Amino acid sequence: MQRLVPERNEGAVGLIDGIPTFIPSTATPFSLTEIPGLVERAVVETADGSVRMGTFVDATHALRYVAVPFTVGDGGATALYLAAYDLRAELADTNSTFQTYSLVAVAALVVVGLVGWFVAGRLLRPLRELRQTAASITGSNRSARIPVVGHDDVSALTATINGMLDRLDGSLTSQRQLLDDVRHELKTPITIVRGHFEILDPTDPAETRETVALALDELDRMSELIDDIEALAVSEQQGLLSLAPCDVLELTEQVQTKASALSGHNWVLERAAPIVVDVDTRRITQAWLQLADNAAKYSPTGSRVGIGSLVDAHGELRLWVRDEGVGIPTSAQERIFDRFGRAETGRSQTGSGLGLSIVQSIARGHGGRVELASQPGVGSTFTIVLPGVGRDGNADANADADADADAVPGADASASALFPDSSPEPKREDHA
């Protein structure tokens, strides 16, 4: 007892005949003798000489105690050893640690929630903007687009959606323009037919025959316009092309033969490339003959019109029609490829005005383009260029092609290169 050293939050006392006799000399947070009722309770509980354990609770303490009675000396004095520790003080550190961890956990949860909200907001912002953009797009307002920020997957999705909106806008614009143009083009023949029928004298057979002939001619023109519109719609859809191997040399000869049916001109086969490529032969023939028909319309009777094909030094297949007609002013060279676009040439204009648009659409459907080299009063060369076909199979032909690069349509816009004074003999490149 004299050597008793209680631990923190513990207390002990020795009693003889109920009187505190031995008290630890070490300072402790509390003294058992100063807690009202504790010592008295222990003395009463151990009066029968048994060891007692229990819990004593008051306003400030929650003590777990043990009381051990024993006899001191030969005189038989009754002694009691009482030890206790404060449960509240013992749990205070644990409670403090728990509260600290709880506060840290709550703070971390709040921080994680805020970060998650911020990140999720940034990730979902393009989707919200997509919804808002989609809601704002109408038939009259199709210019809204989603801002692309960053280089992640969401940004890539945003760019893809913007591209889709651009394509839809272009398609709707094209459809609206086509409808406006068709309405304008159909209005003229309808007005002509209606005007002549309104003033028709049914009793005059000659006038009746003349009016009927005029009406049939205008109806034929409307039918041609509808056919051209259908051809243009098909040519603009690349998926509808039927690609198959095509012998360009044979195709060139066939186009020259078919063009010869357009009487009044000297159709010359200038060159034929011995190569096989994957194209839609029917559509390419249609485009090539459309260029031939244009050359016949805008060239003097009896003039020379050249047709040829060649794989140039860049590996591009060039299919051309070269005429010695009136030529096309520079200011009109872009406009003639528009739907119903025509150049002012001083000659009567026939046809729907969709021919060159169809040619350009067919070329684009094959991944190519249409080139024009023209000089007013000298002539024009229209060339369908199909890229990525490689080189001719004939080494000699390749050498000739490189040597004659200046004479390839589109390679030199000068009049001397496009329209030589002397007409060369047709050059056929035989298969190797």
What is the edge-to-edge ordering of all strands in the sheet holding 19-22? 19-22, 10-16, 77-86, 62-72, 52-57
Alpha carbons 289 and 287: distance in angstroms, whole number: 6
Average pLDDT over residues 63-81: 83
Judge if 254 and 177 occupy the same domain: no
Judge if 74 and 197 occupy the same domain: no
Judge if 202 and 304 occupy the same domain: no
Q: Dig out the tokens for 401 from the structure.
A: 């092609």
Q: Does the pLDDT of residue 25 top 70, yes or no?
A: no
Identify whether the C-beta of residue 165 lies closer than 8 Å to the C-beta of residue 142: yes
Question: Where a domain ends, among 91, 116, 135?
Answer: 91
Output the domain CATH number for residue 325.
3.30.565.10
Judge if 277 and 207 occupy the same domain: no
Q: How many domains does the chain have?
A: 3
Identify whether the C-beta of residue 81 lies closer than 8 Å to the C-beta of residue 65: no
Task: Give per-residue burial for 18-36: e unless 16+ CB within 10 Å, then b.
Answer: eeeeebbeeebebebeebe
Domain annotation covers residue 264: yes
Domain annotation covers residue 167: yes
Average pLDDT over residues 56-84: 84
Instruction: Assign 236 a pLDDT band (cuts: 50, 70, 90).
Output: low
Q: Which domain holds residue 78?
A: 10-91
Judge if 192 and 286 occupy the same domain: no
Task: Give per-residue burial for 378-395: e unless 16+ CB within 10 Å, then b.
Answer: ebbbbbbbbeebebbbbe
Domain annotation covers residue 120: no
Q: Which of 382, 291, 299 is nearest to 347 (CA)?
A: 299
Question: Where a domain ends, among 199, 214, 235?
Answer: 235
Domain annotation covers residue 300: yes
What pLDDT, on a 0 to 100 scale, did the predictor assign at position 86?
Answer: 86
Instruction: Assign 250 a pLDDT band (cuts: 50, 70, 90).
Output: very high
Q: Which region among 58-62, 191-195, 342-346, 355-359 has the lowest average model confidence (pLDDT)?
A: 342-346
Selection from 125-129, 238-242, 358-362, 397-401 with the highest mean pLDDT: 358-362
Q: Does the pLDDT of residue 421 top 80, yes or no?
A: no
Judge if 184 and 332 occupy the same domain: no
What pLDDT, on a 0 to 100 scale, did the predictor assign at position 388?
Answer: 73
What pLDDT, on a 0 to 100 scale, did the predictor assign at position 109?
Answer: 95
Question: Where a domain ends, among 235, 270, 296?
Answer: 235
Judge if 57 and 87 occupy the same domain: yes
Output the domain CATH number for residue 171.
1.10.287.130
Coil/strand/helix, residue 157: helix
Judge if 29 and 173 occupy the same domain: no
Average pLDDT over residues 235-257: 83
Selection from 246-255, 360-369, 393-402 with the highest mean pLDDT: 246-255
Judge if 31 and 63 occupy the same domain: yes
Judge if 179 and 245 occupy the same domain: no
Task: Give the model confidence (pLDDT) of 95-123 as tens digits.
Answer: 888 999 999 999 999 999 999 999 888 87
Identify whether the C-beta of residue 14 lies closer than 8 Å to the C-beta of residue 1: yes
Q: Does the pLDDT of residue 163 top 60, yes or no?
A: yes
Selection from 91-95, 111-115, 357-361, 373-377 with the highest mean pLDDT: 111-115
Instruction: Assign 277 a pLDDT band (cuts: 50, 70, 90).
Output: very high
Task: Give the model confidence (pLDDT) of 405-416 as tens digits.
Answer: 444 444 443 333
What pLDDT, on a 0 to 100 scale, did the predictor assign at position 102?
Answer: 94
pTM of the full predicted structure?
0.50
